[in-house]
Amino acid sequence: MLKIKDLHAGIDDKEILRGIDLEIKPGEVHAIMGPNGSGKSTLSSVIAGNETYEVLEGDILLDNQSILELAPDQRAHKGIFMSFQYPIEIPGVTTTNFIKTAINAKRKAQGLEDLPAKDMLQMIREKSELLEMDRKFLSRSLNEGFSGGEKKRNEIFQMAMLEPKLAILDETDSGLDIDALKIVANGVNKLKTKDNAVIVITHYQRLLDYIVPDFVHVLHDGKIVKSGGKELAHELEDKGYDWLK
């Protein structure tokens, strides 16, 4: 599904990713771990198409087609979704209206009519229940005044609504208490099918107790320095990152 080939990327002449190779197949869950500053968030931003970063070398292929030339919204239309580490607050735009606009933009790109309001509401109801969300959040301005946990839950709610092919969860566990973590993880697991894939980017092993990965990759200094199964996460938890340097 996703193939990353010798990816070099950076910001303002500073190279952050220094040759990443990664292949993700449908149905798989990959965890990317690593210390602060190793390039984890850069990797997710580059896959999602953040124009702040410049790709210097290599390629990213989705279903065997390069996506490097695509704008973030076009990548979203192709099924890429990124849950932000720090979701942006947008005063004046309600969560409901935002998600409606997003879904209909995607449908428009696919040549479909707007989703009828009735179906939209039905879908919003189902997905918000899945995330055990208080419905009042949906009519509030997007993320404005939300707690860290509420923001993250809102991210997964958006993911549930958009039904992506590839979901990247960037430090979704940061700022979450254990109850919120379970709800979010549970939501992700319920959305998992044999046709979609998830990249979990995390600093700690904690989240991986709930979203169990098929593969764990350790990122250090812009390169994947070790890959393995889920047991690698436990090993990192015990030993830290230093032994891999």
Partner 1 sequence: MKQLQEKLLASFLAFENKGNIDLDSKVHEIRTQAIEAFEKKGFPTKKDEEWKYTSLNSILNTDYSIFPKNDASIDLKDVKQYFLHEIESYKIVFIDGIYSSFLSDTTHEGADICLLSAALKKPKYKMIIDHYFDTITSKDDSLTSLNTAFSKEGAFINIPKNTVVEKPIQIIFFSTGSEKEMMLNPRNLIIVGENSHVQVYERHQSLNGSVILTNCVLEIFAHKRAIVDYYKVQNDRENASIIDNTYVQQKQNSIVSVNTFTFGGKLTRNNIEVYHEGENITSNLNGITIIGNKQHVDNHTLINHKFENCESHELYKGIYDDSATGVFNGKVIVDQKAQKTNAFQQNDNVLIGDKASINAKPQLEIFADDVKCSHGCTIGQLDESALFYLQSRGIPKKEAKALMLFAFGNDVVEKIKIPALKTRITKLIAEKLDVELGFEM
List residues near partner 1 by CB under 8 A. Answer: 48-52, 71-73, 75-77, 81-82, 84, 87-88, 90-94, 97-99, 101-103, 105-106, 109, 141, 158, 162
Structural tokens at position 201: 């980017």
**Least separation, in Å, of the C-beta of 70 and partner 1?**
11
Least gap, CB of 78 to partner 1 (angstroms)? 10
Strands of the sheet containing 29-33, edge to edge, are: 80-83, 166-170, 197-202, 29-33, 215-220, 223-228
Instruction: Name which of 81, 46, 63 is nearest 156 in CA terms.
Output: 81
Closest distance to partner 1 from the beta carbon of 207 (Å): 21
Nearer to partner 1, 80 or 216 (CB): 80
CB of 177 to partner 1, least distance (A): 24
**CA triple 174-191-225, angle to 5 deg:** 50
- The CB-of-225 to partner 1 minimum distance in angstroms stands at 28
Residue type for 177, please? D
CA dist 186 and 129 (Å) reads 12
Q: Which is nearer to partner 1, 57 or 73 (CB)?
A: 73
Q: Which residue's CB is nearer to partner 1, number 38 or number 45?
A: 45
As a whole number of angstroms, the distance between CA 227 and CA 36 comes to: 18
* Closer to partner 1 by Cβ: residue 6 or 119: 119
